[in-house]
Structure 1
C-alpha cells in the first residue's frame, strides 16, 4: 500500500474539478466532456464496451452450441443434406479447416478461431483509434493522452476474459459446452491482443512526456509511471515465452516461471491502476475467477487421494495405474490432472493425462494412464517403477457426453496415432458395448498407428472385451510404421488387435471412403500435430461437400484431440 494514493478507495471520484474551464475555449471544454473523449467516463466508454463485446459474443456462441446439441438429438440416415444439415456442414468446415505455413513449420488455428481473433483485434483497434484527437493539443486539456487512456481501459477489460479462458475449472467452457483445453488458444491470443493494447497504452505517455520535457520528473514523483513499466516487463516475458517454440522444450520450467511472472504482473498492475475509476473492479473480477477455479481444483484434488504404481512398456512407454476412491467416476475420452507426491519439484504442480481405460461398475476402481517417457514427471515416474507413489487426482475433465453423442451416428471412424489410442480406445469400446442404442446397421472402425508392435500390449488387454464380443459391425486395423509386419514376433509379443499393416495409413483416402455412402458420420481422432492436421484437412473437404449439397452425407462430425494444448 506504500505507493497507493490515500485514502485508498474502491473507485476513484468522477469529479472533473481538476479541469479549469476558464483556461480553455468553449470548443475545448465541449470536446473533453463529450462521449468517447471524457477522461472521467473513459472506463464506461471503452472498458464496458469491450466487456459488452465479449459477453455478446459468448452469448451467441452458447446459444449456437446448445442449439446444435438440440438439433443433433435426431439420428438415422438422410439421403441428402437438408438446409440445416448444410448450415451445420458449413459451421463444421470453418471450425475444422486449418492452414499450414510450411516455411515456419506451423499449423494455423481453425478458420473459425482465426475469424474470432481477427474480429476481436479489429474491434479493439477500431475502438481505440476511431475517436480523435490521439493527443490533446493543449496542456490545459489534460495530462493523459486520449490514445493511451482508451488503450489502457481496453487492456484491463480484456484481462478477466483472458484469465477465464485459461482456467481448468472453466466458467466460459460451462456456458459454451466446451472443454477447457479447447479454450487455451483463446487464452493465448487474447493475452497477445491485450499486450498489443498495453503497448498502445504505454507509448503515447512516453511521447507526451518527452514533448513536455518532464519524463524524469514523472517517473520520480508518480508511482503509476514506473509500475506501468514494472508490469510491462513480465507481460512481455509471458507473451514471448508462451509460444510453443520456447514453451515446449522445457514445459515444467515454463509453467513455474509463468505463475511467478503472472504474480509480478498482477501486483505491479494493481499499483499502476491505483483504483482509478473502476480499474480495480476488473482486477478483483480476474482474481475472483482464477481464485474460484484454483480453490475448486484444490478441494477436489484433496478429496481424491490415489496410489500409483508404474510399469514399463516397450517404445519408452509407461503404464501408470491409480487406485482411486470408489466414488470417483469418469466417462470415455476424459482426462485428469494428477499431482504426484514425488519431490518438491513435482508435487508443486499437476500434470494432465488421458484416462486410457473404461470405468466398469463393480470392478476395482483403477484409472490407467499411458504415457511416453520424456523429461520431467514422466522420467521421474520411470525411475520409480515397481514402487507405490502417493498422488492426488483432480478431475475428470473433458467432454463427458461425447461417448453418448457418438451413438446417434450411422458410422464412426476412430483414428489414433501413437499414444492417441488412450483417448480413442475407451470411446470405441463404449460404442461397441452400446450397440442397442445405435441406429440399425451402424458401423465403427478403429485405425491405430504405432511405431512398434510392442506398444500394443496394454491396448490388447483393453480391447479384449471387443475381441470376445466378435462384433460384426466394428473392425480394428493396426499400422506399424517402424518394423515390417512379417518381422513381428507373435509368440514373443502376441498381437491380436485386428489386421496388421506396415506403414502409415492414407488418412485422406480413409476419410473419403468412410464418407462415400449416405448417412451421418463421426470421425474421432487423436495423435501428433501433423496427424491431426491431415485428419482435419480431409474431414474439412467432406464437410464442405455437405455445405454445398454435393455430398452423399448429411452430416460429418469431427472431434480431434492433440497431444498438447
Structure 2
C-alpha cells in the first residue's frame, strides 16, 4: 500500500529478499518543481517513517517524561522544598485536575478526571494536527507522484508509532509505571484511548487507498492481485473487534468472553499487521520494540509468580454475607490497597487465566510476629470465575485449592500511609474488603505514633471509616470484621494517649430486609442488623464509636469537607498542619462523589489550612 520497488518475484506474504529495512534509494523523474514538491519534508514517502512515526514516538515519550520528572521530584525533593508555597500550589492544582470528574446521568457515565481528559485532548490535538495539518491529502493529478495518498501514508506511520505504547500500557509490569509511579490499572484508560486513536488512524489510512484506486479504476485488480490488501483487511478486522469489545459497556457485560478472546485476537492483529508492513522502511523496528516490551513484562511476571512466590494453598469459604473468603498463608510482602492476580490451578476456574483481587488484610513482619502473614481476599460472586468459585466453596466449605500469585501491584505506599494524621476510609459493597486492609494498616502503624509520643509531640490521630451496603447480611459481616480488628488493636501495646480516635459508620442503603419504612427512623443509630450488631459505643485502645444507619446513604461531599475542617482545627490546636488521607473503593458513583469532594477540598491545602490532602481510589472495574 506504500511505494516500494522490490527485487525478486516475492512470496505469498513477504517480498524478496527479506530485509530488516527497505531501501530509501529514490529517483524522481518529474520536473524539478514537481520533484521539489514531492520531496518536501511533510510529503516525502521515503522519510515518512521519520517524520510521522518517530514524531509520534517523541510525543508519547515527552508526555511520559513530564510525569516521570514529576514523580522523581516527589520522591527526592527535600521537605523544605515541599513546604514552599510554589510546591504546595503546584501539588494542589495537579491533584485538583487528577480528582475532578464529571457525571452524565442520561448516559450513566462517570468521566475520568479532568487531568486525564486534558491529557486526552492534548493527544487528540496532536493526532489531528499531524493528520490534517500537512497538505495535500491526495496527490495532484498533473503528474504521477505515487500510489500512496499522503494522508494515508502519514496516518499509517502514526498508527504504527502508537503500537509500542498501546502494548506497554496494557502490561502489568511495565516501564511506564516504573518511571511515572502510576500503577498499571490506572494506565488502562490510556491503553484504551491510544488503542482508539490507533484504530481511527488505521481507518484514515485505509479508506484513501480505496478512494484512490476507485478513481484510478483498478480497485478490483488491486484486491485480486495485491496480498497487501488482504493482510491489511485481516489486521483491520481484528483491530475492529479489539476496539469494539473493549468499549466499557460491552467489556464489563461480557468480561469473561472478552478476556478469553482478547489476547488471541491481539496476536492475529499483530501478526497480520507485521505482514502488512512488509519491512517497508523502518516499520519492523516497531515490532521488535513491541516484542521486547511484551517479553520483558511476561518475564517479570513469570519470575515473580514461579521463582519468587511459588505455589500457594488457598482456603476458600462462602460467608453468610455471600462473599467468598480466600485466605493464603504467605511470606510475600505487600502494602495497603495492593492487588494480586490469582490463578486457580483447577480446570473449573479457567486454569490459563489469572484474575485481579484486592487484598483485604495488612502485611505482618514474620520476623516480628514469628509466623507468616495471612493474605485475605473477599470476593463478591458475579459471573464467570467468581460465580464458579462460590459454587466450589459452597460444595466444599473450608476446602483448599492450589494457586499461583502474581504481584502485588498498585496500592498506597507504606511511608505515605504512615504520614497521615487523619485518615478517612470510604467503601461500598464488596469494597469493604479494601477498607479492612486500610484499617489493619492504620492500626499497625500506631506503634510508630507511640514512639513519636516519647519525643514529647502530640501523636493522636483520627481514623474515620464509612461503609455503605444494600443489605443487612453484608452489614453484619462488616461490623463483625471491623469490631474484631479494633478489638485486636489493644495487643499493639501502644500508649492509650497515642493512637487513633476511631469512628465507624455503616449505612444500609436499601429498604429491603431493613424492617424500617420511615425516613425518620433511618437516621437513628441502631444496635444491630438481624440482632447481631454490638452496642453503638465501644472502647478499645483509644476511643471507638460505631453508628449504623438504615435506609440512609452517606453524605460523601459533606463527610470529606468535615474531615478536612476537623483536621485543620486539630492542627491549629497542636500547632502542626495535618496531613489528610482519603481512601475509597466502591461503585462509580461513590468514587465520583469522593473525587470531586477531594478536588474541592484542595482549596484548604492551597490555603495552607492543612499540609496535604491525598486521595487514593480503587474502582471495581478498570
Please report the TM-score for the alignment, with normalisation by the length of structure 2: 0.84
Answer yes or no: is 1:531 the counterpart of 2:535. Answer: no
The number of residue pairs the alignment matches comes to: 553
Cross-structure match for 2:519? none
Would you say the 8 A contact 1:338–1:394 is kept in 2? yes
Give, in whole Å, the separation in 2 of the partners of 1:119 and 1:296. Answer: 32
Give, in whole Å, the separation in 1 of the partners of 2:59 and 2:159. Answer: 13
Give, in whole Å, the separation in 2 of the partners of 1:264 and 1:72. Answer: 50
CA shift for structure 1 position 253: 0.9
Cross-structure match for 1:394? 406
Answer yes or no: is 1:500 the counterpart of 2:547. Answer: yes
Cross-structure match for 1:209? 213
Cross-structure match for 1:155? 159
CA shift for structure 1 position 335: 0.8
Partner residue of 1:132 out of 131, 135, 158: 135
Answer yes or no: is 1:521 the counterpart of 2:580. Answer: yes
Give, in whole Å, the separation in 1 of the partners of 2:485 and 2:42. Answer: 63
Cross-structure match for 2:272? 268
Partner residue of 2:343 out of 326, 332, 339: 339
Would you say the 8 A contact 1:318–1:382 is kept in 2? yes
Answer yes or no: is 1:381 the counterpart of 2:357. Answer: no
Partner residue of 1:62 out of 55, 58, 68: 68
CA shift for structure 1 position 506: 1.1
CA shift for structure 1 position 120: 0.8
Give, in whole Å, the separation in 2 of the partners of 1:211 and 1:425. Answer: 66
Cross-structure match for 1:542? 601
Give, in whole Å, the separation in 1 of the partners of 2:78 and 2:362. Answer: 25
Give, in whole Å, the separation in 2 of the partners of 1:489 and 1:552. Answer: 39
Higher RCO (CA-CA < 8 Å; seq separation 6+): 1
Partner residue of 1:511 out of 557, 560, 563: 560
Cross-structure match for 2:36? 30
Would you say the 8 A contact 1:320–1:369 is kept in 2? yes
Answer yes or no: is 1:478 the counterpart of 2:505. Answer: yes
Would you say the 8 A contact 1:432–1:474 is kept in 2? no
Give, in whole Å, the separation in 2 of the partners of 1:251 and 1:461. Answer: 35
Give, in whole Å, the separation in 2 of the partners of 1:521 and 1:494. Answer: 29
Deviations 1:256-287 (A, max 9, x none): 11112211111110111001111111112112
User: What is the Cα-based RMSD across aligned positions, in Å?
Assistant: 2.3
Partner residue of 2:148 out of 144, 148, 151: 144
Answer yes or no: is 1:421 the counterpart of 2:432. Answer: yes
Counterpart secondary structure, 1:466: helix
Partner residue of 1:555 out of 612, 617, 620: 612
Change (3 A) 1:316 1:108: same
Would you say the 8 A contact 1:82–1:554 is kept in 2? no
Give, in whole Å, the separation in 2 of the partners of 1:203 and 1:143. Answer: 13
Task: Compare 181-190 and 254-263 and name the one that shifted more.
Answer: 254-263
Give, in whole Å, the separation in 2 of the partners of 1:210 and 1:72. Answer: 65
Deviations 1:478-508 (A, max 9, x none): 3131436647258656687841221222111
Would you say the 8 A contact 1:479–1:500 is kept in 2? yes
Counterpart secondary structure, 1:178: coil
Task: Compare 429-438 and 531-540 and name the one that shifted more.
Answer: 429-438
Would you say the 8 A contact 2:460–2:499 is kept in 1? no
User: Which runs of no fewer than 5 residues in structure 1 stay unpaired?
Assistant: none
Counterpart secondary structure, 1:515: helix
Change (3 A) 1:12 1:423: same
Deviations 1:357-405 (A, max 9, x none): 1122222343111011111111111122232211111111113x52321
Please report the TM-score for the alignment, with normalisation by the length of structure 1: 0.92
Give, in whole Å, the separation in 2 of the partners of 1:313 and 1:73. Answer: 46
Give, in whole Å, the separation in 2 of the partners of 1:95 and 1:553. Answer: 19
Give, in whole Å, the separation in 2 of the partners of 1:9 and 1:371. Answer: 52
Change (3 A) 1:409 1:422: same
Task: Compare 421-430 and 124-133 and name the one that shifted more.
Answer: 421-430
Partner residue of 1:4 out of 14, 25, 41: 14
Counterpart secondary structure, 1:414: strand
Partner residue of 1:367 out of 370, 375, 378: 375
CA shift for structure 1 position 462: 4.0
Cross-structure match for 2:621? 564
Would you say the 8 A contact 1:307–1:322 is kept in 2? yes
Counterpart secondary structure, 1:449: strand
Give matches, 1:51-200, under 5 Å.
51-71=57-77, 73=79, 82-138=85-141, 140-200=144-204
CA shift for structure 1 position 231: 0.9
Give, in whole Å, the separation in 1 of the partners of 2:487 and 2:351. Answer: 35
Counterpart secondary structure, 1:348: coil
Would you say the 8 A contact 2:349–2:389 is kept in 1? no
Change (3 A) 1:546 1:434: closer
Answer yes or no: is 1:442 the counterpart of 2:461. Answer: yes
Would you say the 8 A contact 2:507–2:554 is kept in 1? no
Give, in whole Å, the separation in 2 of the partners of 1:236 and 1:345. Answer: 29
Give, in whole Å, the separation in 2 of the partners of 1:73 and 1:257. Answer: 49
Give, in whole Å, the separation in 1 of the partners of 2:98 and 2:532. Answer: 45
Give, in whole Å, the separation in 1 of the partners of 2:421 and 2:373. Answer: 32
Would you say the 8 A contact 1:75–1:409 is kept in 2? no
Change (3 A) 1:342 1:72: farther
Counterpart secondary structure, 1:384: helix
Give, in whole Å, the separation in 2 of the partners of 1:559 and 1:72. Answer: 23
CA shift for structure 1 position 315: 2.9
Give matches, 1:252-291, under 5 Å.
252-291=256-295
CA shift for structure 1 position 433: 2.5
